[in-house]
Amino acid sequence: MRLITENLDGLITNTLVTDKFKSVMISYRFIAPFSEATLNSRALLPEVLTGATRKYPSRALLKQKLDGLYGMELATQTQKFGKQSVISFDLSFINGDYLPKDTDLIEEAFALLGEIVLNPKLVKGGFMSGLFELEKRNLSEELDSMYHDRAAYSFNRFSKIMFKDELFRLSPRGEVQTLSSLTKDRLYSEYCSLINEDSRELYVIGNVDEKAVATLARKYLGKAPAFKEGHWIDDEDKTIIQVTDVRETAKLNQSRIIVGYRTNIRTNDPLFYPMVVLNTILGDTDQAKLFLAIREDQRMSYDIQTFYSGNKGVLFVFAGVDRGYEDQVLALIDEVIEKLDQETITESDLRIAKEQLQKKGRESVDSTSALIDKTFVNLHLFRRDISVDELLSRFASVSVADVIQAKKRLVKDTVFVYHDRGEG
């Protein structure tokens, strides 16, 4: 695979030329600072823009166009990465080598991307009222549904507590409490800001001609504002004076527990790779320490796992717990982590963790979307693309002593327990 990076009048293009896939994917990304003030607008904008354009003034007509292009697929996403908000417009389609002669889907795809992003259907200088209200209602219902998902609700509440004064508390999908105040005029104003101020990146992967990509990008996507380097690591932190312990109740069959730890180990830290291995040993396989101690041995939990965010430098323990066992499970979590040392972390633990990471690493190059995401992360965090082999060699070099050093950086910050009100 070859990676070609160019700056086309402010638009940064990254073309990954490979014959590994039978499809081509284009990802057009708009980047701005992540902010509570623009949170809901940036979550809603992709839905409104893909709902009606000048040429295709309804979602049904746009779908009809996509279907006519051999089932071309359109997807959008708003996500937070570091301290940046990233809106993606993605098109996936069959490589021309597998289609009738003279079928040129890549130009059709670029034309469609330009139409969606640059030519929205407007009425009196703004978005259509009906479309705006429909998509706003859909987003509100999506956010409301989180309150009926116990795991999602628990993490949302936990985040608001542990990251009270940090951006990490906010979901890039929006905040239902403030969505109702978003107006059609405000959304259009944010759209104008996106077009006139956002940095833009284009990722294209497949068996494509990089010169053709540059030509089509200039033709259909136009000039972009000067690219502004973003803040790609979330370095907001706080001093922990004491552990925050919050208990909330509802009518529940099983309790949810989340424990959050600060590590101050982010992707640019030498202990990043040992921390990833530690996370895997603790709670990311069916042989993980917490899984075996709490679910298999004690039968107190129906699920328990860990997650490490290297971009934020935090580690979470998530557990679904049988009623009445909450405090015992919390004590066991403390005990398992405390006992992690040269004696309790075996070579077998290390091998299983590395095998799991190797599997995940290989999966990261199994699809066009995964490869684009990997390249996006690498270019912003490490200033270059890192091969899977190089990544896996870094994990392979991690020793038990390295894992112990990473473990010493765990500082418990917040405990959140969501349990049945009948349990007091």
pLDDT tens-digit map of 53-68:
999 999 999 999 999 9
| Phi, psi at 102, each rounded to 5° | 70, 15
Q: What is the pLDDT of residue 147?
A: 83
CA dihedral 182, 185, 191, 197 (to 10 degrees): -100
Confidence of residue 422 (pLDDT cuts 50, 70, 90): confident
Mean pLDDT, to the nearest integer, of 367-382?
Answer: 95
Mean pLDDT, to the nearest integer, of 94-100?
Answer: 91
Distance CA 345, CA 368 (A): 36
CATH code of domain 2-221: 3.30.830.10
Q: Residue 126, exposed/middle/buried by CB under 10 A (0-12, 13-18, 19+)?
A: middle
Q: Which residue has the higher pLDDT, 307 or 229?
A: 307
Q: What is the pLDDT of residue 103?
A: 86
Is the per-residue pLDDT at 52 higher than 70? yes
Partners of residue 11 on adjacent β-strands: 8, 200
Q: What is the pLDDT of residue 120?
A: 98
In the block, residue with structure tokens 């910050």:
413
pLDDT tens-digit map of 321-334:
988 999 999 999 99
Distance CA 386, CA 374 (A): 9
Confidence of residue 424 (pLDDT cuts 50, 70, 90): very low
In the block, residue with structure tokens 């990473």:
406
Mean pLDDT, to the nearest integer, of 27-40?
Answer: 98
Q: How crowded is residue 387: how many other Cβ atoms within 10 Å of its Cβ? A: 13
Q: What is the pLDDT of residue 110?
A: 98
Query: Domain residue spans in the chain?
Result: 2-221, 244-423
Is the per-residue pLDDT at 401 higher than 50? yes
Mean pLDDT, to the nearest integer, of 184-195?
Answer: 98
Alpha-carbon distances of 198 from 27, 86, 201, 374, rounded to whole Å: 15, 10, 10, 22
Under DSSP, the state recorded for 291 is I
Asked whether 131 and 51 are in contact (CB, 8 A), the reply is: yes
Q: Which residue has the higher pLDDT, 424 or 246?
A: 246
CATH code of domain 244-423: 3.30.830.10
Is the per-residue pLDDT at 423 higher than 50? no
Q: What is the pLDDT of residue 224?
A: 94
* Percent of the chain surpassing pLDDT 70: 100
Q: What is the pLDDT of residue 421?
A: 80
Residues 6+ apart with CB under 8 A from 279: 306, 307, 308, 315
Distance CA 113, CA 15 (A): 16
pLDDT tens-digit map of 222-234:
889 999 989 999 9
Mean pLDDT, to the nearest integer, of 9-22?
Answer: 96
Mean pLDDT, to the nearest integer, of 112-130?
Answer: 97
Q: What is the rounded average pLDDT for all residues in the chain?
A: 95
pTM of the full structure: 0.95
Mean pLDDT, to the nearest integer, of 186-215?
Answer: 98
Domains 2-221 and 244-423 share a fold: yes
Residue 247: which of 164, 318, 161, 145 has the closest Cα?
161
